[in-house]
């Protein structure tokens, strides 16, 4: 069975400190992996994606994620948090079924940034 787990429902950091949002997946094959961000009362915006090329993926706004097959993880990081990073972050795994690639969402991690 395919699944995605975000290990923390909330992460709280101070502005200027590093951010780590954790994501683990379960898949019988090498999946496509994504991180999306949702600011309050907004839609979902793609931060970055992994598609079996480089294992370290760079995204927008200084975010990165590293695919580790041995750990079935795809954690999201940023060296220095900014107040504007406060949002909900979703790890997404794309599974193929019925001819479609189905985006399957983790429960989300709320990032709180303190001044």
User: Judged by CB under 8 A, does residue 68 bind other proteins?
Assistant: no
Q: Is 70 in the site for other proteins (CB under 8 A)?
A: no
User: Which residue stretch of 16-24, 60-68, 71-79, 97-105 sits at the interface with other proteins (rule: CB under 8 A)?
Assistant: 97-105
| Cα–Cα dist 54/13, whole Å | 28
Q: Is 40 in the site for other proteins (CB under 8 A)?
A: no
Cα atoms found within 13 Å of the Cα of residue 114, Cβ hemisphere only: 4
Q: Which stretch binds other proteins (CB under 8 A): 10-18, 44-52, 62-70, 75-83?
A: 44-52
Q: Pick the closer one to other proteins by CB: 25 or 81.
A: 25
* φ/ψ of residue 108, rounded to 5: 95, 150
CA pair distance 13, 86, nearest whole angstrom: 10
Q: Which residues bind other proteins (CB under 8 A)?
A: 32, 34, 36, 42-44, 46, 49, 51-52, 90, 92, 94, 96-108
């Amino acid at each position: 069975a395919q699944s995605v787990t975000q290990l923390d429902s909330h992460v709280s950091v101070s502005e200027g400190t590093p951010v780590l949002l954790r994501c683990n997946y379960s898949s019988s094959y090498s999946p496509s992996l994504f991180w999306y961000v949702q600011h309050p009362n907004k839609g979902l915006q793609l931060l970055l994606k992994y598609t079996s090329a480089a294992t370290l993926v760079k995204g927008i706004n200084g975010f990165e994620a590293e695919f580790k097959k041995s750990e079935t993880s795809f954690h999201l990081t940023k060296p220095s948090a900014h107040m504007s990073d406060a949002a909900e972050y979703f790890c997404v795994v794309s599974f193929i079924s019925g001819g479609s690639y189905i985006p399957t969402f983790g429960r989300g991690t709320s990032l709180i940034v303190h001044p």
